[in-house]
Every structure is written in structure tokens, then in C-alpha cells.
Amino acid sequence: MRDATRVKVLLVESGRSVGGTERVLWELATRLPASRFEVRVWLSPAAGVNELASALEQAGIPVDRVPEVDSRWDFKGMLATWSRLRSLKPDLLHVHHVWPAADRYLSMLARAAGVKHFVVTEHIIGESHSKGQRSLKREELRRADAVTAVTGAIVDTLVRDYAIDRSIVRVVPNGADLPDTEREELEARRWRERFLATPLKPLWVVAGRLEEQKGHDVLFESLATLVQNGLDFTLVVAGEGSRRSWLESQALSLKLAPRVQFVGQVEDVGGLLAASDAVLMPSRWEGLPLVLLEALVRGRPVVATAVGGVADVVEDGVTGTLVPPGDAPALAAALEQLQRKADRAWRMGRAGAERVRERFTWPAVIDEFESVYDEVLGFATVTPEEPELPARGAAKDPSKPAAKQAGKPASKETSK
């Protein structure tokens, strides 16, 4: 039995916009038991995470806006970060990497400041950009008390690129909330009525940032083939990003209008996913995308590229359909089968829902992180001396839109 003193946990993430990594940080910060953990969050000063910072503060989580030290010549930034860590004295620092080379000086500064325990979570596949960055990354991973990754594919890259022992990395996946079916039913009906969806004109959804990573251009090429083959459909493109204008032009040049509809950022993407006849994920690379889990937990048929951690969740032909990344003909063939054999697609969707509900829920994810913390801190067993308080923000319904609750920010991973 451990004493009743709460563990001071500092969660750090330096992303400049709200996406999947930031959503994981939100869930961890607001769901860790308040009776055991005193949580503080460091975020980038970038305007793109202002909403997240405000939401965390409204949920009772202290937030500091700390610039990332991204240069060995940034002595001022290093001193400021070191001073903050010395002042805070966290029991455990948990950094979430939005990119492998992010926050690469933090481990060194934490050690210098006397932080005793350091946990690293890797969210996406990628490579450091220089020999120096790789050296810093390798040192960070080797010195960390624990390393977690959201998917086994990321573990493979860490072992390959940084020559670390596979046994020190633990897979802790992302999660999904169980849907509020009654609330989403009305919203789903509105979406289907808006786009006149029918069994012969299915409603497909692609939700994510409009960036090269997400592969919208490949999807549009595949859809042009379906139009040539006489198939009808509506594709709803939910999200924003730097490639929106380019993608809108591509859709016009391929004569996909009005079949392809750009709807911008969707604050509560659950209703749109529930409305869909299938959710499409043509990404070129991924970690473990939240929209995939959120689609499957609703029993939606999924067609996705076999990248990153997608194959950890989707078994081709069983819980969804997988195609090679960047292969427009293969994607077109999969979508044609999806439309011509809808019953089979829905059976796979139901199988996917069972898998996600068994393994990929947020309570299960938080339990796994709590177990990681206990191992790092040396707590063999945890027996609270008093009943646990609700986790911060637990009174809020996490399935409701951000605008309707003081707390949860919309994630651009699933709404942009």
C-alpha cells in the first residue's frame, strides 16, 4: 500500500495544431484519477492549440505554454525550460512526440533539472532529419524509464532506426469513446437527408486534415474510375488544411462535382460517421488514427490503406478492407466491391466494432498508462486508501460537441 501523496505528472506535447496526439493528451490529462495524480500540461504557444489549452484549464488542469527547444544554440530556451522543471519538480515527466525528433533536448534538460522519471510515447512513424537528431533520439529512448508506442509498426521503426531493444517498448494504443447512439441518430439522419443518400447512392466519408499525408488526391483518382464505371455516390470531405484549394481544383478537373462535397471542420464528427455507409482512409502514412477507431466503434465499414497501425485494428476481409498506399486502381476496386457487396461490408463493420470495443476504449488505454506509471514509480500494487475521486472532467459527457461542454476540444484528426 502506497501513501496518499499524489504523484505529480507533467504531460508535455509540442504540436502546433490539434490532432490525434493532442486528443490523446487530453484524454490522459482529464481521465487519470485525481485521487492519485496531480496533472500539469505543457503545450506549445502556437495559436492552433489555444482551444485545447482553454479546455484543459476549464477542466481544472494547469497549463503552461512552453516553446519547444529545437536548436542546440537556443541557450535561452534551454535555461528557461531547465528553470521551469527545477521549479515544478514533477515526479514523472511524460512526453508525447507528435514527430520523432520533437522535443529532442527535453530528456537531457529533465535529467539536468533532477526529474527522476521520464516516459516517452511515440505517436507516428517518421525519421529524424540529421545525424545529430538521431543521436539525441537514441539517447532519449535508451535513458527513458519507459517507452510506449501507439502501434507495433512504430515499435518496428524504433528498433530499426535507433537500435533499441524491442523489449523496452510497450504498445499502448489509442482509444475511442462508445457512441451516444440516441443522440447521434438524429444528427446522422440530417446528414443523410442533406446529401440524399440511398442504398444506390451511398454516403462515404473521409475525415482528416487536408494534407499530403492523408492521400485525398489518390482517393479522388480512384473515384474518377468509379464514375467512369457508372457508379453513383457522395463523398463528404470533412476537414481543413493547406491543400484544400488544390484538392477542390482536382475534384473539379476530374469532374467529381457534385459527388465530392467539402464541408470543412466538423465539430462533432460522430454524427457524420454514424451517417456514413463507409469511412475511407487513403493515408500515405499513419500512427494509429483516431478516426479509424471512431468509425469502427460505430460499426461502419472501413476501406483503408495498410499503413502504420491500421493493420493492428483492421484485418483485411474480416474487420475492414485494406489496400496498398498510393494505389488508386486498388482503391477503386475496393470501393466498387464495397458498393456492389454492401451486406459483406456491413458484416465487416460489425466485426470491427466488436474488436474496438474489446481492446481500444479510452478507459482501457488510461488503465494501461496508469500501469506504466506504477511500474516506473515502483508501485507493485496500487490499493487506494480512500475511494477514488472522479477523474477531472468526468462529469462531462465526452461524446458531446466541444461547444456544448466546457472542456473537450474538437480534434482535427477527426474533424479537420
How many Cβ atoms from other residues are within 10 Å of residue 180's Cβ?
15
In contact, 150 and 51? CB cutoff 8 Å: no
Q: What is the mean pLDDT of residues 197-201?
A: 93
Separation of alpha carbons 293 and 308, rounded Å: 14
pLDDT per residue as tens digits for the range 163-193: 888 888 999 999 999 999 999 999 999 999 9
pLDDT > 70 fraction of the chain, expressed in percent and rounded: 89
Separation of alpha carbons 53 and 43, rounded Å: 7
In contact, 331 and 204? CB cutoff 8 Å: no
| Predicted pLDDT of residue 177 | 92
410 has a pLDDT exceeding 80: no
Chain-centroid distance of CA 163 in Å reads 26
How many Cβ atoms from other residues are within 10 Å of residue 157's Cβ?
18
282 has a pLDDT exceeding 90: yes
Spell out the domains of the chain, with CATH numbers in brackets: 7-175+361-415 (3.40.50.2000), 181-359 (3.40.50.2000)
12 has a pLDDT exceeding 50: yes
pLDDT per residue as tens digits for the range 300-310: 999 999 999 99
| Predicted pLDDT of residue 98 | 81
| Cα–Cα separations (whole angstroms), residue 1 to 90, 158, 367, 375, 378 | 21, 36, 18, 14, 12
Report the chain's mean pLDDT, rounded to a whole number: 89
- Grid cell, residue 230, equals 457508372
All residues at 6 or more sequence positions from 77 whose CB lies less than 8 Å from its CB, including other chains: 67, 69, 71
| Predicted pLDDT of residue 392 | 47
Give the pLDDT band of residue 87 (cuts 50, 70, 90).
very high
Give the pLDDT band of residue 26 (cuts 50, 70, 90).
very high
Task: Please indicate whether residue 292 or residue 168 has the higher confidence score (pLDDT).
Answer: 292
- Grid cell, residue 207, equals 475525415
Q: What is the mean pLDDT of residues 62-86?
A: 93
Give the pLDDT band of residue 215 (cuts 50, 70, 90).
very high
Q: What is the mean pLDDT of residues 151-160?
A: 91
Separation of alpha carbons 158 and 325, rounded Å: 21
Separation of alpha carbons 143 and 45, rounded Å: 28
| Predicted pLDDT of residue 246 | 98
Give the range among 258-272, 341-355, 399-413 with minimum mean pLDDT.
Answer: 399-413
Give the pLDDT band of residue 381 (cuts 50, 70, 90).
low
Q: What is the mean pLDDT of residues 6-20?
A: 92
| Predicted pLDDT of residue 390 | 46
Separation of alpha carbons 355 and 347, rounded Å: 13
Give the pLDDT band of residue 380 (cuts 50, 70, 90).
low
Task: Outline where 10-130 has alpha helix (H).
Answer: 20-31, 50-58, 75-88, 106-112
Positive or negative: CA dihedral 68, 410, 322, 211: negative
| Predicted pLDDT of residue 1 | 37
Q: What are phi and psi of 102, to 5 degrees?
A: -65, 150
414 has a pLDDT exceeding 80: no
Give the range among 124-133, 234-243, 405-414 with minimum mean pLDDT.
Answer: 405-414
All residues at 6 or more sequence positions from 155 whose CB lies less than 8 Å from its CB, including other chains: 149, 166, 169, 171
| Predicted pLDDT of residue 128 | 60
pLDDT per residue as tens digits for the range 314-371: 999 999 999 999 999 999 999 999 999 999 999 999 999 999 999 999 999 999 999 9
| Predicted pLDDT of residue 416 | 40
Q: Is 257 helix (H, G, I), strand (E, B) or coil?
A: coil
CA Rg, the chain, in Å? 22
